[in-house]
Amino acid sequence: MAQLKSFVRPGLIIYLVVISGFLFLPRIVSTFNLILFQYGITFAIVALGFNLLLGYTGLLSFGHGAYFAAGAYGVAMTAKYFPDLFSLEILIPIALLISFLISAIFGFVCVRHTKIFFAILALALSMLLYALLFKFYHLTGGSDGLYVKIPMLFGHTFANMRRPQFLSGFYHYFLVGMFFAAYIVMKCIVNSPFGKALQAIRDNEVRAELIGIRVRRYRLYAFIISGMYSGLGGALWGFVNGHVTPDVSHWIFSGELVYMTLLGGFGVFAGPVVGALIFNFLKLYAMGSTEYWMFIIGATLIIIVLVLPGGVAGGLARLASRIKQPSDKGAA
Amino acid sequence: MLKVTNLTKDFGRSRIINRPSFEVGKDEILSLVGPNGAGKTTLVNLISGHIKVTGGIIEFLGQDITFASPYRRIKMGLARNFQITNLFENGTVLDNIRICLFSNYGKIRRGILPATHYKAITEEATELLDIFGIGNKEKLFPPSLSEGDKKILDTAMAFALKPKLLLLDEPTSGVATGDKFKVMDTIVAAIKKEQVACMIIEHDMDIVSDYTDRVLVLAEGNIIADGKPKDIMAESNVKEILFGVRD
Amino acid sequence: MWPIYILNGLYFAAFIFLISLGLNIILGVMGLLNLAHGSLYAIGAFMAAWTITRLAEGASIFILLPALLTGTALAALFGLFMEYFLIRPMYKRALEYQLLITFGALMLFEDVIKMIWGGEAIYASTPFVLLGRVNILGNPYPAYFLLVMLLALVVGVLIWLFMAKTRIGVMLRAISLDREMATAMGLKINRLGTFSFVLGAALAGFSGALVVPTTPALLGFGMEPLILAFIVVVMGGLGSLKGALIGSLVVGQTRSLGIAFFPEIELAVMFLIAAAILVAKPEGLFGR
């Protein structure tokens, strides 16, 4: 059994299938569904980072929209004020830098607290950013937001392309590449000694302090990393959406990020990714089918919390272990 | 090694720790006894930096650590366990020890390679678990351990920080009477092997006289007796305080 | 203009106090942050506005009474349902689930409001117009604002008396001080939790009903006041009623002066004050 396992590596096969599926997507699905998927994948990056904080460090932020907005506005404002720099290889680091700065400042205030106080403080701070984005309209475009044009890459321009063409061409592969890079880096982080330290803090803050982990500082590290993931997701989302508005730093949007993470299941590493992809389709189809889409997704959320607390991925994992158990017994 | 001078701690208007002074020498294993509410755990909390001192001085290895952060005390070699076991319940027994070792070697900032990649640390963790006699349980999760094994793991975690002085708060409370000596045998053997000084809070006078060289008796926040277990037990005022009997 | 700024500040403080009072009672007694609190506030506002438009013709100022009554009652009813069906199964669950279920409730309520009253704004300024203006040191000032302040004061005092003097109030305070001790003493935590949730919802509905004559009821009506209430709660400390009072006064005055002098950074200034308080006292002014 063990030999067979090391030979086949079921995990590896799943990864290969998923990667090739993602890469061939432009040939399989319509442009509409492809773009919908791209929205989902940018949220998936955010949710990966978000779960480092929620699932692995035990902190629930209701304000991660702020760092998403930091990334998205970082890109959009660069487009407006420094058009020469409007190239992906520069824009992504800019988005990361800005989200780093904002999450470092906000995080410094938040990590002094835990639980509800943490959640409420993170929420309030994101609303501060929202208000600033809203009110400094001559800089940020106010409620109209800013337009994000199609970026360049190493001097190559896609200027003669229309957005759907750009999105289903080069950008799709770029996006999938960024997603897998983000996925692998996060996977490394959660399994590393650093990740174990975060989990120790989540499980038992008092003991963690007394085995020499500086709890507050490590919480801040986790906060910043997850903030930068949000920033990266926000920047990549900006190109897909073509337009950024202050809404992404509103706490309702942050709430949707929490929703995605829980929908997928924050106890499983890949859960939030699944959740982000499902949420996006769910929301769009709810919006397309009824005026009362908030009612639909609100009710869905309540049902999930009540009956499927492990989320979709958590539920699947439990199902899998239930199927596996009898077969293991049979083998023994 | 550890020198406590005129330590005080007030909670509100009541003084819980009332000017005890004592020293702990190198390699010494001593026990701290006293009736409930005497302030034993508070004293340990003060020494480990878990709560803040009201007055007095704590020195460790010749340095004043009265106001040092718990983090600094740990890095200087002062570790403790918990009376109520305090473990990382979602990690395996091995993970519990390993995180302590990572912390001790300053490697918890390493964020890229998986924890399992650090072979030397895993090996050391396994060895440590063997020394403490729970090597065969490394894959279990703490909630499925017996109370005695939890206590041993808790102590082993403090031990993994390579302390120079280990503070053990009732390492056998909650353990079935028959297993108490087994637990103590394991812990004391490990302590002696690594030549760690140790201060043990204990209720059971048999354990005190079997395993420790010196006893401090704490009553109403102050030390009222200090000496060899046999001599201490002979003193009538100690008996009265500890057992409520008068000769 | 200064007296007007101060009065405006007091007016803002009055209605933010009413909202954060309900939020804080629920926080203190149940340890639950109700994200749908703003929606309950909006439900009170819509119900009151609807009542006023029905009765508006030839009405006197006493039209406000049925409006307040229906607004408060409907919000309390929603609160009761919400507590029974959504919050109760969450008592023993982790914080994430508790918060998310109230977030789900928020989405539900926003659309329920749309279903009941449609997406249109409801104008219900009759009581505001009827009361007219009074002269304050040479400046005309809406009398209705003064009425809001007065009613907020009355409600504040009533709640304080209730918490200090009645048996239920004392029990509620005992729970928010030490939940385990209160359980050990045999208090019926669940029933008292339900009570405090409904009380909080009723207060939210009352404040919505009270405010709606000054501003049309729109979709998303509760969003901004909720944020202000959050800031108040952070400043004053979780679950502290005294904190809610002081916090509201600070937030109200800052808002009034902000609108007059520094509209762009009004919220930022509020946050700076909150941050300064948190640096000095991490658990808020009266937090534990």
Q: B103: which chain A residues are within 8 Å (Cβ-Cβ)? A: 197, 211-213
- Quick one: what percent of chain B has pLDDT higher than 70? 98
* pLDDT beyond 90 at C120: no
Contact C93 A131 (CB under 8 A): no
Residue with tokens 């502290």: C240
Contact C95 A116 (CB under 8 A): yes
In sequence order, the 6+-apart residues with CB closer than 8 A to the CB of A33 are none
- Quick one: what percent of chain C has pLDDT higher than 90? 51
Q: What pLDDT, on a 0 to 100 scale, did the predictor assign at position B16?
A: 84
What does the mean pLDDT of chain A come to?
A: 88
- Quick one: what percent of chain A has pLDDT higher than 90? 51
pLDDT band at B55 (very low <50, low <70, confident <90, very high): confident
On whether any CB of chain C is under 8 Å from the CB of A267, the answer is no
Note whether ipTM > 0.95 here: no
Q: Give me the CATH number covering residue A161.
A: 1.10.3470
pLDDT higher at B140 or B82: B140
* pLDDT beyond 60 at B173: yes
pLDDT higher at C13 or B190: C13
**Structural domain boundaries enclosing A96:** 2-331
Contact C271 A128 (CB under 8 A): yes
Q: Best interface-test mutation with A: which of C108, C226, C262, C288 has the largest number of A CBs within 10 A? A: C108
DSSP-based helix, strand, coil % in chain B, nearest 5:
40, 25, 35
Neighbours of chain A (3+ CB pairs under 8 A): B, C
Strand partners, C208: none
- For residue A67, CA distances in Å to A73, A112, A122, A183, A272 come to 10, 19, 11, 18, 17
d(CA B100, CA A26): 48
Q: What pLDDT, on a 0 to 100 scale, did the predictor assign at position A326?
A: 57
Q: Which residue of B has its CA nearest to A225?
A: B111
Q: How close A221 comes to chain B (CA, Å)?
A: 10
Does an interface of 3+ CB pairs under 8 Å exist between B and C? no
Q: Using CB atoms, which residue from B86, B95, B111 is nearest to A194?
A: B111
> pLDDT tens, A57-104?
999 999 999 999 999 999 999 988 888 888 888 999 999 999 999 999
Q: Which residue of B has its CA nearest to A188?
A: B112
Q: How close C56 comes to chain A (CA, Å)?
A: 30
DSSP-based helix, strand, coil % in chain A, nearest 5:
80, 0, 15
Q: Which residue of A has its CA nearest to C226?
A: A124
> pLDDT tens, B124-137?
999 888 888 888 88
Contact A211 B157 (CB under 8 A): yes
d(CA A307, CA A80): 47
Distance between the two ends of chain B, CA-based, in angstroms? 37
Q: A200: which chain B residues are within 8 Å (Cβ-Cβ)? A: 88, 91, 99
Q: How close A16 comes to chain B (CA, Å)?
A: 21
Q: Mean pLDDT throughout C51-66?
A: 85
> pLDDT tens, C153-172?
999 999 999 988 999 888 88
Q: C114: which chain A residues are within 8 Å (Cβ-Cβ)? A: 291-292
What amino acid is encoded at B52 in this protein? Answer: K
Element (H, E) at C246: helix C241-261
Q: Mean pLDDT throughout C123-141?
A: 87
On whether any CB of chain A is under 8 Å from the CB of C133, the answer is no
- Quick one: what percent of chain A has pLDDT higher than 70? 95
Contact B103 A213 (CB under 8 A): yes
Q: Mean pLDDT throughout C190-196?
A: 89
> pLDDT tens, A235-267?
999 999 989 999 999 999 999 999 999 999 888
Instruction: Report the half-sphere exposure of A101 (CA within 13 A, side-chain side).
Output: 10
Q: What pLDDT, on a 0 to 100 scale, did the predictor assign at position A235?
A: 95
What does the mean pLDDT of chain B come to?
A: 85
On whether any CB of chain A is under 8 Å from the CB of B74, the answer is yes
Q: What pLDDT, on a 0 to 100 scale, did the predictor assign at position A279?
A: 93
Angle of CA points A53, A59, A61, to nearest 5°: 85
Q: Mean pLDDT throughout A112-117?
A: 86
Q: Which residue of A has its CA nearest to B105?
A: A212
d(CA B155, CA A211): 12
* pLDDT beyond 80 at A159: no
Give the phi and the psi of residue B167 in degrees, each rounded to 5.
Answer: -105, 120
d(CA A299, CA A303): 6
Strand partners, B167: B80, B199
Q: What pLDDT, on a 0 to 100 scale, did the predictor assign at position B246?
A: 53
SS3 B57: strand
d(CA C258, CA A149): 36
Q: A258: which chain C residues are within 8 Å (Cβ-Cβ)? A: 96, 99-100, 103
Contact A207 B87 (CB under 8 A): yes
* pLDDT beyond 70 at A329: no
> pLDDT tens, A259-302?
999 999 888 898 999 999 999 999 988 988 888 999 999 999 99
pLDDT band at A2 (very low <50, low <70, confident <90, very high): very low
Domains of chain B, first to last? 2-243 (3.40.50.300)
pLDDT band at A8 (very low <50, low <70, confident <90, very high): low
Q: Using CB atoms, which residue from A258, A292, A306 is nearest to C114?
A: A292
- For residue A91, CA distances in Å to A38, A88, A167, A228, C265 come to 18, 5, 17, 14, 28
Q: How close C264 comes to chain A (CA, Å)?
A: 5
Contact A193 B95 (CB under 8 A): no
Q: How many domains does chain A have?
A: 1
Q: Best interface-test mutation with C: which of A57, A102, A290, A306 has the largest number of C CBs within 10 A? A: A306
Least confident of A16-25, A147-156, C8-17, C222-231: A147-156
Per the CB < 8 A criterion, the answer to whether C7 and C255 are in contact is no
Does an interface of 3+ CB pairs under 8 Å exist between A and C? yes
* Structure tokens given for A21: 């599926």
Q: Mean pLDDT throughout C117-136?
A: 87
Contact A119 C33 (CB under 8 A): yes
* pLDDT beyond 90 at B15: no
d(CA B64, CA B55): 13
Q: Is residue A139 exposed (0-12), middle (13-18) or buried (19+ Cβ within 10 Å)?
A: middle
Q: Mean pLDDT throughout C227-252?
A: 90
Q: Which residue of A has its CA nearest to B45?
A: A210
Number of cross-chain residue pairs from A and C with Cβ atoms under 8 Å apart: 112
